[in-house]
Amino acid sequence: MKTITTLLLALGLLFLPRFSALAWIGAGHQVIAAEAYRQLSRDLKVKVTALLKAHPDYGVPNWNTR
């Protein structure tokens, strides 16, 4: 019985990170990115914006649906 309990607990822990990672889809990333951007200095915001504009998908409507 102890072996089965240990095995089930190990399997449960194996899949636990997979389910908790689901919280970091689109909205979670956007919140973190917005807060990080807000904390940048003005000079760094200019540099980051230039870097983002250099990406080929910048300005493409619904780029995340591809």
Indicate the domain borders of the chain: 23-58
Q: Give pLDDT tens digits for 46-56.
A: 999 999 899 98
CA distance 32 to 41: 17
Please indicate, yes or no, whether the overall pTM of this predicted structure exceeds 0.85.
no
**Of 25, 26, 51, residue with least CA distance to 40:** 51
Say if residue 20's pLDDT is above 60: no
